[in-house]
Structures are given as structure tokens and as C-alpha cells.
Amino acid sequence: MDPKPWRDRIAEEEQLLEQLRHLSSEAAARRAQALRDGVAELGTVAEVARDLGRSWQAVDQALKRDAKKASHRDATTE
């Protein structure tokens, strides 16, 4: 059996990478929503971070990244 040509293998791997980027982006958006829900419940980013055992900067950055992506998504859909 002949191995797949390298161009075909590259195309398959690029397709897989694109699928993974898409899944990762969706997971990050869901995570950010859960963090926002945590802030709504606990009151502050710092409280959510404490509850998760993370730094408040990490939680804050995740929320900011999602807000930036959401505004970009909104701008591209208009």
C-alpha cells in the first residue's frame, strides 16, 4: 500500500488544525460565559479567582479576551 502523498497529508493536518482552532474558540467563549456567571454570583472577579484558585489577572484577562473576540465577531457579522 502506497503512503498518502505529502500534499494530501498536509491538507488533512491543516483541516484538523482549523477544526481544533474552532473548537478551542468555542470552548473559550463558553468558559468566559461561565466566568461571567461566577462574577454575577460571587460579585467580583477577585472572588471568582479565589474560588477557582487562580489569580484575578488570569480571570480578568480571559474575560477581556472574550469581550474583544465578541466585538470582533459582531463587527464581522454586520
pLDDT score for 73: 67
pLDDT digits (tens, 9 = 90+) for 53-63: 999 999 999 99
CB atoms within 10 A of CB 42: 14
pTM passes above 0.85: no
Q: 40: buried, middle or exposed (CB in 10 Å: 19+, 13-18, 0-12)?
A: exposed
Write out pLDDT tens, residues 3-13: 899 999 999 99
- Measured CA to CA, the distance from residue 56 to residue 49 in angstroms comes to 5
State the average pLDDT for the chain. Answer: 93
